[in-house]
Structure 1
Amino acid sequence: MSDENKPGETAEIDAAQTPETDASVAPEETILKLEAEKAEMNGQILRLLADLDNTRKRADRQVSEARVYAIEKFAGDLLSVADNLARALEALPESERESLTDAGKNLLGGIEMTAKELHTVLGRHGVAPIAADPGAAFDPNVHQAVAQIPSPQPSGTIAQLFQPGWRIGERTLRAAMVAVSTGPAN
């Protein structure tokens, strides 16, 4: 065999080793084509950078929310403790508090301090009570209407609070149970 390549092999080697050149394409057209490719790639890079920035912001927001709302279930469980302490304090009328023995007064003081400390700790972790005073505007996002009653309050406002509501951050942890006023009775 000679050192010469077979006719079919020569064409394949030449096509693989030489860059694609077309004598019929003008250099200006090649430059325009490359500029268009460059612009397309720049656009792709900008979209990828924007997507990366959005992903970073979303991750930062999720981490921030996780810090705020991580105790949501635990705080919700503690609300029944706060309710029970409030009921214990309401069970003893003001008129009877003066007639308590020293031991009874100490017990009452301990319950009051415990309720106050629980509210302080909840507040320290972003858990706050929802305002639901009589006469305040009814907001279905934070109030749960369980009744409509006639009252001296304007119609559509809160007439009475049955159970306090709580929020953690911007989320409602438990809606306040209220009665909504139908206005003064006729």
Structure 2
Amino acid sequence: MSASTDQNENQIPEDNQPENESIDVAAESLVEPGLDQQLEEAQAKVAQYYDQLLRAKAEMENIRRRADEEVSKARKFGTESFAESLLPVRDSLEAALAQEEQTLEAFREGIETTLRQLDNAFTRNQLKEVAPQAGDKFDPHLHQAISTVPSDQAEGTVAMALQKGYVLADRVLRPALVMVSAGQPA
């Protein structure tokens, strides 16, 4: 009896089956007729946006790669202009050394000419000299104080310049070495 009872429990009454089919039909009738089209349009937009995202990502990667290449080239060839402007200076120095016999006056004139060439090369490449004079205000951005000394100059000013400094396009390459005035001796 228990076997027949189990069989009866697993069977769905036939009168319930049409009821389930009618629920499915009712659910389908509740769905708006344009939802399938809206779903397809939304999926097409998602695909379009995804494609745009992938293209933008690839473009950003290309921009990053090009920027890295430009930085690498700038590092590699950044001094090219400066080096080219120094070549005539080297040529002049070699020519001066090649002269066997020359007077002190001619030698001095050659050195002055070579120094002008070097100054022109510095100017073309935005390399400026920092040469403070006694009495100039001490600037810690451009000057390096070696010591303070009693002096006739006002306190906190340059008492003496020991070595010129240089600035390349507003960046200090070498600060000027100075002695700073501590004011009048007591």
TM-score normalized by the length of structure 2: 0.50
- Superimposed CA distance per residue, residues 156-186 of structure 1 (whole angstroms, 9 cap, x where no aligned partner): 4433211111233444333221223334444
Specify the structure having the higher radius of gyration (Cα). Answer: 2
CA distance in 2, matches of 1:40, 1:182: 70
Q: How does 1:12-31 map to 2 (within 5 A)?
A: 26-31=36-41
For 1:56 and 1:43, locate their aligned partners in 2 and report how far apart those are by CA, in whole Å.
20
Match for residue 173 of structure 2? 173
Match of 1:128 in 2: 128
Answer yes or no: is the 8 Å Cα contact 2:137–2:156 preserved in 1: no
Residue 46 (structure 2) pairs with residue 36 (structure 1):
yes
Name the residue aligned to 1:7: none
1:68-117: CA deviation from partner (whole Å, max 9, x where unpaired) = 43558xx8xx9xxxxxxxxxxxxxxxxxxxxxxxx554444444333333
Alpha-carbon deviation of 1:39? 2.0
Counterpart Cα distance in 1 of 2:54 and 2:183: 62
Q: Over aligned residue pairs, what C-alpha RMSD do you find?
A: 3.7
2:118 alignment partner in structure 1: 118
Q: Which has the higher contact order (CA 8 A, sep 6+)?
A: 1
Secondary structure class of the residue paired with 1:42:
helix
Match for residue 79 of structure 2 among 29, 45, 69 = 69
SS at match of 2:45: helix
What SS is found at the alignment partner of 2:172? strand
Is the Cα contact below 8 Å between 2:148 and 2:181 reproduced in 1? yes
Give the match for residue 6 of structure 1: none
Query: What are the residue-to-residue correspondences of 1:94-113 with 2, within 5 Å?
Result: 103-113=103-113
Residue 4 of structure 2 is matched in structure 1 by none
Query: Paired residue for 1:139?
Result: 140
Percent of aligned pairs sharing the same letter: 20
Go from structure 1 to structure 2 and tell me whether the alpha carbon gap of 1:52 and 1:139 turns closer, same or farther (over 3 Å shift): farther
- Evaluate the alpha carbon distance shift between residue 34 and residue 67 of structure 1 in structure 2; reply closer, same or farther with a 3 A threshold: same
Q: Distance in 1 between matches of 2:105 and 2:67?
A: 54
Quote how far apart the aligned CAs of 1:59 are. 4.1
Aligned residues: 134
Q: Is the 8 A contact 1:138 1:156 kept in 2?
A: no
Between the aligned partners of 2:57 and 2:119, the Cα distance in structure 1 is 48
Tell me the CA shift for residue 147 of structure 1: 1.6
Post-superposition CA distance 1:36-59 (Å, at most 9, x none) = 232233234334434534544554
Q: 2:131–2:161: 8 Å Cα contact kept in structure 1? A: no
Counterpart CA distance in 2 for 1:115 and 1:184 is: 38
